[in-house]
Amino acid sequence: MTTRIDKSKVRRHFDRHAGSYDQYAVVQRTMADRLLQLVLKRKAPKNVSRIIEIGCGTGLLTGKLLDAYPEASVLAIDLSPQMAERTRQRYGDMAAGRLETFVGDAEPPGNDDEKWALTEYGQADVIISSATFQWFDEPGRTMKAWLGRLKPDGLLAFATFGPQTFVELHEAFRAAERELGLSKMSHGQDFLSLAEWERLLVQSSGGLKQSFAFTGLEDMDVQTFADVRSFLYSVKRVGAGNANSDSRETQRAGRRLFAEMEKKYTERFAVNNGGIRATYHLLYGLFGAE
């Protein structure tokens, strides 16, 4: 990724919008459902006793994991205290001691993995994450750390966003910048492709997981919104505002750029029945023993 993620900003975003997340998390729910289907084809419930979920949010996937794997314990991790608390409140009682929540960063701090609080947790049969990997600053080092916490026959499974996510928004900003004579700016994160995730996982596994293989698939989920502002409001309500540490550059461009972007977006990406479209590029990856 080309820019740093401001983790404190990410935490504040998700804390602030934890109460409305489920209402607006349409695509995230789709991702969680599809990911679980893929994992169930690879790991039968009888063979799973320990699951680690990275980025549990409000528990969209957590509850499904507890139901699908009734004999397994689940460690649900989230950077946002409010998100983790919602998961605990929602499923803590029904899980009957099988659910533990942990508030913290899923990326090891600095270069000293031994100081990582998550080091103390044991190995897992399944490490799973939906709509979270895009928040990693150092995905290679992070994948290496998590692969080291998989059992020899374990599975790492994820769903995340691909590089064509919000392609309409980016094109509208580029057109607006050209119209106003502005230089190209950053208007969001740079997402890895599925091939890049595969290469990163294979490299991160080193010689530890020689029998592991990667399986991936991708999909385009096109959503419609009443207008550009409704679309951006929906994105904000799931906590996914621009968390790049250099996003102030866009703020300095001011309202003029935003107004021109909104105009270009509406002109270019209107749908026949009214409103505008927005594309979510969804990636699914499974890395584990064959």
Residue 208 pLDDT class (50, 70, 90 cuts): low
Average pLDDT in the 171-184 region?
94
CB contact set of 41 (below 8 Å; sequence gap of 6+): none
**What is the predicted pLDDT for the residue at 162?**
97
Kindly report, residue by residue over 53-76, the tens digit of the pLDDT. 999 999 999 999 999 999 999 999
Tell whether the model's pLDDT for residue 246 goes beyond 80: no
Average pLDDT in the 189-212 region?
87
| Ranges 83-87, 135-139, 210-214, 233-237, most confident | 83-87
Partnered with residue 222 across adjacent β-strands are: 279
Check: CB of residue 79 under 8 Å from CB of residue 10. Answer: yes
Burial class (CB in 10 A: 0-12, 13-18, 19+), 209: buried
**What is the predicted pLDDT for the residue at 116?**
63
Kindly report, residue by residue over 128-163, the tens digit of the pLDDT. 999 999 999 999 999 999 998 999 999 999 999 999
Partnered with residue 280 across adjacent β-strands are: 221
What is the rounded CA–CA span in Å between residue 44 and residue 70? Answer: 11
What is the DSSP track for the chain?
Answer: --S-B-HHHHHHHHHHHTTTHHHH-HHHHHHHHHHHHHHHHHS-GGG-SEEEEE--TTSTTHHHHHHH-TT-EEEEEES-HHHHHHHHHHHTTTTTT-EEEEES-SSPPTT-GGG-GGGGS--EEEEEEES-GGG-S-HHHHHHHHHTTEEEEEEEEEEEE-TTTTHHHHHHHHHHHHHHTPPP---S--PPPHHHHHHHHHHHHTTTTTTEEEEEEEEEEEEEESSHHHHHHHHHHTT-S--BTTTHHHHHHHHHHHHHHHHHHHHHSB-TTSSEEEEEEEEEEEEEE-
- Pick the closest to residue 286 from 132, 160, 157 (CA basis): 157
Bridge pairing between strands 50-54 and 276-289:
unpaired
- Structure-derived torsion over alpha carbons of residues 83, 86, 92, 97, reported in degrees to the nearest 10: 10
| Ranges 9-18, 201-210, 261-270, most confident | 261-270
Average pLDDT score over the chain: 90
Count CB-CB contacts under 10 A for residue 117.
Answer: 12
**What is the predicted pLDDT for the residue at 114?**
53
pTM of the full predicted structure? 0.91
- Pick the closest to residue 118 from 129, 109, 130 (CA basis): 109
**What is the predicted pLDDT for the residue at 252?**
62
Pick the more confident residue, 108 or 275.
275
- The widest CA-to-CA distance across the chain, in whole angstroms, is 61
Check: CB of residue 95 under 8 Å from CB of residue 124. Answer: no
What is the rounded CA–CA span in Å between residue 148 and residue 252? Answer: 43
**What is the predicted pLDDT for the residue at 69?**
97
